[in-house]
Structure 1
């Protein structure tokens, strides 16, 4: 992900983060779908924003932000985003990321204690969530599901 080409743009997301418990600004790459309509397809895994990669969003130029700014999601991709915080710092965050990568879930690492992970639309979330829950129960991580697609919801 996060590639640039002729149709790539950066979009600002301003929102209240429940993880950080504060108003947050995040910038993500997107590819232009229809510039006249202001439609862009996200090409980033968000660290905090409650959207998912490949979602199509409506963004418009904002004078205050001086760039394209997110207004709403117009089409959900079916991908989900999970945020993971490493609690047990004796563990290697990259090993945990690799375990999920082997299950088909790529991630973006912010630092040695935090990463955001994409659950592709076609993946069964149950075994992935089971591992997340086991790691959380063992107090190795804690996780949040800020953007859980309908196809990944559970009871």
Structure 2
């Protein structure tokens, strides 16, 4: 088990990607909630794993085949959402787009110069974020997906 410090663990997520049409693996950091019960709080923004968001409480256990802690199910949803964004207009600066959403209360992690994943906190009004996402998509600057949209962000 790889650790950031004594309270952090890496958890493996194995899932089927409809976008890539294949089985995929992603590892993410989590904090220990209750090690004996296998409960962990996700401390990463998922790049690809669907239906999970930062601060969700997860059940994970050591998998002998994977040789590491492996996600089994979500125990408690945080109310946060995860949005995946692809830069379509390569003449635009991806960091400026990320900053636009940061000003609206959303943090993100960049995977490369053309893709980032964004956390929409439960306290942020998603209508404002959605309006900006749709505006940028209509202008063909970005394309986006909503792989984990919390109930509080649905309208």
TM band (smaller chain) = over 0.9
> 2:99 aligns to what SS in structure 1?
helix
Partner secondary structure for residue 131 of structure 1: helix
Q: What runs of 5+ residues in structure 1 fail to find an aligned partner?
A: none
Which residue of 1 is the match for residue 144 of structure 2?
143
Please list the CA deviations of residues 103-141 of structure 1 after superposition, one character each: whole Å capped at 9, or x if unmatched. Answer: 010000000000000000111000100000111111111
Question: In 1, Cα distance between the equivalents of 2:100 and 2:90?
Answer: 17
Runs in 1 of length 4+ with deviation above 6 angstroms? none
Gaps of 5+ in 2: none
**Cα deviation code 1:78-120 (max 9, x no counterpart):** 0000000001101110000000001010000000000000000
Tell me the residue number matched to 1:105. Answer: 106
Q: Which moved more, 1:19-28 or 1:36-45?
A: 19-28
* Within-5 A mapping of 1:6-155: 6-50=6-50, 51-154=52-155
RMSD: 1.1
What TM-score results when the alignment is normalised by the length of structure 2? Answer: 0.95
TM-score under structure 1 length normalisation:
0.95
- The alignment covers a number of residue pairs equal to 152
